[in-house]
Structure formats: structure tokens, C-alpha cells
Amino acid sequence: QAQFVESGGGLAQPGGSMTLSCKVSGINVSIYRMGWYRQAPGKEREWIAQSRMNGITDYSDSVKGRFTISRDNGRKTVYLMMNDLKSDDTAVYYCNAPARDPHSALMPWGQGTQVTVSS
């Protein structure tokens, strides 16, 4: 069974940068889409980025141009580089394997990593 361990969160100032990591175990990462999701306080979890097996990446409008997803299949690790952070980016961030519709995920969720953007 897949397990996801997210790390790298913390406190950042508006306009700052942060890179999250997700260590994956239990599945062959190279044959899955991999994605990032987030859940802000009082809101539902939302999809924000995915990396397809062919290298194509997709982003939600809320993070396009600011966030970059990447993957290292050999290390079974997925990354999310976040630039120009805004207070609206405050959320718990999760990784998972997106379904064909990336708003749905295929595997059980990990614990996530908290990102707080505040001055």
C-alpha cells in the first residue's frame, strides 16, 4: 500500500519561497501521475499540481506561474517548489497519485506538511 511522507513546510513571509518534499513508498512511482494537494483552514482539500509520467505538468490557476512540481523516480520523491508565496497559500500540503481527473486521488492520504505564510 502506498505511503506518503510530506516534509519541508514551515513559516514563510509573503513573497518568499519554500520547497516541499514527498517521500513515497509502497508503489512504483514511475508508473503513476504524482500530484500535490492542499487544504486551507475551513476549506476542502484541493488539487494544485501534477506531474504526468511523460513529464508534462499541470497546475491549478491559483498556483500557475508560481509553483513548480518535479519528481525523482529513482529516489521515489516528489517536490513542490513554491515562489512568491501569498497568505492564501497557507494550508496543509499533501502529495498523492492523482486519478485521471486530478481532483481525485488514488491512494490513502499522508499526514501532510503545514505551510504558513504570514508577516
44-54 confidence digits (pLDDT tens): 999 999 999 99
Local confidence band at 64 (pLDDT 50, 70, 90 cut-offs): very high
**Paired sense of beta strands 10-12 and 113-117, if any:** parallel
pLDDT digits (tens, 9 = 90+) for 69-118: 999 999 999 999 999 999 999 999 999 999 999 999 999 999 999 999 99
Tell me the C-alpha distance between 39 and 61, whole Å: 16
Nearest-CA neighbor of 20 among 30, 31, 33, 5?
Answer: 5
**Cell, residue 67:** 509553483
Name, in order, each residue with C-beta under 8 angstroms of 55's C-beta and a sequence gap of 6 or more.
Answer: none
pLDDT band at 1 (very low <50, low <70, confident <90, very high): confident
- Find the mean pLDDT for residues 26-52: 96
pLDDT of residue 37: 98
Exposure letters 34-72 (e unless 16+ CB within 10 A, then b): bbbbbeeeeeebebbbbbeeeeeebbbeebeeebbbebe
Closest C-alpha among 101, 98, 66 to residue 80:
66
